[in-house]
Structure 1
């Protein structure tokens, strides 16, 4: 059994890349995580959500994964995730803009603070249906290190107006 801290990431996409979009693109992203040595311990289902904050962007496809990151630091994991995003055509032009692939670190164990460009836990995870619904599938008992609340607690407190629909599971999930 691994003693690495429980590490959770969010996966999201609302633009196609090389003719692949939605759930199929997220499945390719999971394969890229495995190739990078970031084996998922658990995967949520795939959820379809509106852009947050609300905009005229296409719907997003979202999921969460628990990764086995071994002894990676937050900075090392961030660099690995950014490299995968770039492989999928990710361009960072505007905050909250449409994207081919978004891989965000949600939490790494009980880490709380700022690590170069990363703040852990993710500063807005408790406000986002597109994070909490998939995270609740794989870790409903996970406790936010700063707020002391479980994912189930955070879901109950979620601000209204963020519809999320589970559209299915990853094929070949761990």
Structure 2
């Protein structure tokens, strides 16, 4: 199972809302030849991390199958981000699109070249863990073996102030 986190707190050009932008990213992923989207969580709304005056983020997780390597998949995800107008200038800045590999078939990879697997900060982020639990309630962190519910319980309650969107 390969999990990709999707997030945005700005609308990409041609889209009215960050939610519409995130939904369009799922459509683009489905159109990729080497990527099969097999599931998508509900969308969640969360504050930026670290806390700032930026707009709230829309976050979700998709599960995919692919024949691509982690490096090739990351490159493809960056191409999709760029198509939505993402320009990387400052860490944790507001953005039209953010696509991260969270888990790549349980692989563990610590390297100086991306991607690090699993995503190094995923287990600390409610805006990633809640969508994962929504999609795969039995998911386990590849490094610790902890369940997604155990990871959520371990988080400080002040960062759990996120809610699923109702559409």
1:18 to 10, 13, 18: 13
- Structure 1: 4+ residue segments shifted above 2 A: none
SS at match of 1:153: helix
Contact 2:43 2:59 in 1 (8 A): yes
Residue of structure 2 aligned with 1:135, choices 132, 137, 140: 132
Aligned to 1:93: 89
Q: How many residue pairs were aligned?
A: 163
Q: Deviations over 1:80-137 (max 9, x none)?
A: 1000000000010111111000000001112101352111000111110110111101
Equivalent of residue 58 in structure 1, options 44, 52, 55: 55
| Higher alpha-carbon deviation: 120-129 or 19-28 | 19-28
Are 1:103 and 2:112 matched, yes or no?
Answer: no
Question: What is the RMSD of the two structures over their aligned residues, measured on CA atoms?
Answer: 1.2
Structure 1 stretches lacking a partner, 5+ long: 1-5, 170-174
Take 2:132 and 2:13, find their aligned partners in 1: how far apart are those partners? 28
Q: TM-score, normalised by structure 1?
A: 0.90
How far does residue 39 in structure 1 lie from its aligned partner after superposition? 2.4
The Cα of 1:35 is off from its aligned counterpart by 1.3
Shift of 1:142: 1.2
Which residue of the partner structure matches residue 151 of structure 1? 148
